[in-house]
Structure 1
Amino acid sequence: MELQLHVYQLKTLIKIVKKTYRDFRLQGVLDVSLNSKSYETVHNRLTVEEATAAVKSGDGLQGISMRDSDQEDD
């Protein structure tokens, strides 16, 4: 937890988590199963990392974000 992710790692993980979550929802997995403690932990960590990266670099992650999980980031 004390190590920060590199911006490239962060962008990649955000895309993977959002795509996986979206795909499972489309396949009919219940929200109770999707919003587990593990998912919440990963989501919170990526949100904190995203905020830290935005403060440090100033330009943010160039349109990639953990919010708006139903929107596609291309």
Structure 2
Amino acid sequence: MIQLLVARLFDQWYTATMNLLGTWLTERMDQQLHVYQLKILIRISKKKYRDFRLQGVLDSTLNSKMYDTVRNRLTVEEATASVREGGMQGISMKDSDEEDEEDD
């Protein structure tokens, strides 16, 4: 019983925070993110995904539409920043893909 409650809590927590991040990005759709904002948001999304996966949150919850929206936006912003700034220097969404595959 407690395990189900904890699992549900983690599911709701992940979903709520990913929705918050996605909403924030959607409200700023017409604005480019500053490189610092982009680096921080990439770190937050990568860490959140990995940590909640380790806590047993189901892949169907982790890979929600909102997660895809956040990930796609950060990937586009990263590409734009790489061209504009000459690179992200040490952090990228691609690193996230490679690290996630290594964890499996």
> Structure 2-normalised TM-score?
0.64
Residue 20 (structure 1) aligned to one of 48, 52, 56: 48
Residue 30 of structure 1 aligns with an amino acid whose one-letter code is L
Scaled by the length of structure 1, the TM-score of the pair is 0.89
2:92 match: 65
Matches within 5 A, 1:1-74: 1-58=29-86, 60-69=87-96, 71=99
Q: CA offset at residue 53 of structure 1?
A: 0.1
Larger radius of gyration: 2
AA aligned opposite 2:93: M
- Structure (1 or 2) with the greater helix fraction: 2
Taking the aligned partners of 1:16 and 1:66, their CA distance within structure 2 comes to 11
Cα RMSD (Å): 1.0
Q: Which runs of 5+ in 1 are unaligned?
A: none
Which has the higher relative contact order, 1 or 2, with Cα contacts under 8 A spaced 6 or more apart? 1
The sequence identity of aligned pairs, in percent, is 74
Give structure 2 stretches of 5+ with no counterpart: 1-28, 100-104
Deviation at 1:68, TM superposition (A): 3.0
